[in-house]
A and B are shown apart, each in its own frame.
Chain A
């Protein structure tokens, strides 16, 4: 009977209640951001839902250690970590360890002789084409692009979430955009043609 020891009992419940209440009011407003990231990383609705649910439970567990930083990057860091764990177990080919300097294809910086063809392509590029091109990026490029363009996060936040130095954020973002521009050119070659030794090449 809890009446036997009322003070301890109610104290504990109040703490847990308080912690959940804080979690609900601080972290759950970022559920859309969490799902968006998981959905882009797993490229599948059901998997994304599982991952986000799991990530929220983990987040709640770590929440007592959370000290007034920014909630969204903090939650996204957990979501990303949960995604990678899930992918390693279920689709290991997608998260092969990735060395940015190793086998990195040269980046084309030279602009097309005229910018026109690309401008036209971008103006006409429809939702489907853009979505496809993002989905086709290797995961390390996809995540920085999604965090930057869809979540509008700073390089610093992205570095923290993806657990990489800011220099790597810069190089991956530049590469992600170079690949996107290539993919969106009229009569584009297959998106991942220039990425060597990437086992997921060609997978949409």
Chain B
């Protein structure tokens, strides 16, 4: 039996996704049988989600921002400037401030996808784990009327489960996975030798158009529709994956 402090640290690292693959898998295997461990992991995940959702993020006040910019301008070597140069400097300083503020604003906008970036990493990791561990599905069935209720009874939402009208596409089944701090549905399809994981969970975000990315040789497609967010991960090529995502979208719309 592991010392309680160590076990607690191990579970925290597990929830943070900071364990190496072998140890992550070890805990996942233990989780299946150990209700106490499950409760502990769930408690940590809930806390993590609550802190991330509710804790104040203190953005720098505008006064501080202008104080620092002012200071940077003042720090410029005054002794070496004559008057005409000072006047030449002022518009430059102002425009620098403006550009920096603009960059900051843009940075804020652009930094939003960093959450997506994290989900992307998690989704790929989860896909790799599932394919490596041969635990592709918890419920193996090509019948979506079997898979959907199975998933619904284990999640606090009912994921849309579709059979895709894509040539050669086989629906393998579904499993439960953890992504973005909560349990999600993973629908597994197979085309030729390629495994396609479709992660689905409810999101409060507005609909999002299809985006694709490639990382570590895996292709990822993401979109949100009707209050559900979808992440597709596969070694299928990018265009094919995008068309799978689109047919998912169509199937969903026709539902």
Q: Which residues of A contact B (CB under 8 A)?
A: 2, 9, 12-13, 16-17, 20-21, 23-25, 28-29, 31-32, 34-36, 39-40, 45, 48-49, 52-53, 56-57, 60, 104, 106-112, 115, 118-119, 122, 125-127, 130-131, 134, 145, 148-150, 152, 154-155, 170-171, 173-174, 177-178, 180-181, 184
Contact = CB atoms under 8 A, between A and B. Distances in A.
Given A111-B36, A131-B54, A170-B9, A180 B18 contact: no
Interface of B: 4-5, 7-9, 11-13, 16, 18, 36, 39-40, 42-44, 46-48, 50-52, 54-61, 63-65, 67-69, 71-72, 75-77, 80, 82, 96, 100, 103-104, 107-108, 114, 118
B29 to A, nearest CB: 19
16 contacts: A25-B100, A28-B100, A32-B60, A36-B57, A39-B58, A48-B58, A53-B68, A118-B46, A127-B54, A130-B55, A149-B52, A150-B55, A170-B12, A173-B16, A174-B8, A177-B47
B77 A155 contact: no
Given A31-B104, A111-B36, A118 B80 contact: no
A53 B71 contact: yes
Contact of B65 (A31, A36, A107): A31
Given A36-B59, A130-B55, A149-B55, A174 B12 contact: yes
A115 B42 CA distance: 9
Contacts of A154: 18
Contacts of A21: 96
Given A31-B64, A31-B65, A170-B13, 19 more contacts: A13-B77, A20-B75, A23-B72, A24-B72, A28-B68, A32-B58, A32-B60, A57-B75, A107-B5, A109-B40, A111-B39, A115-B39, A119-B46, A125-B54, A127-B55, A177-B48, A178-B8, A181-B43, A181-B47
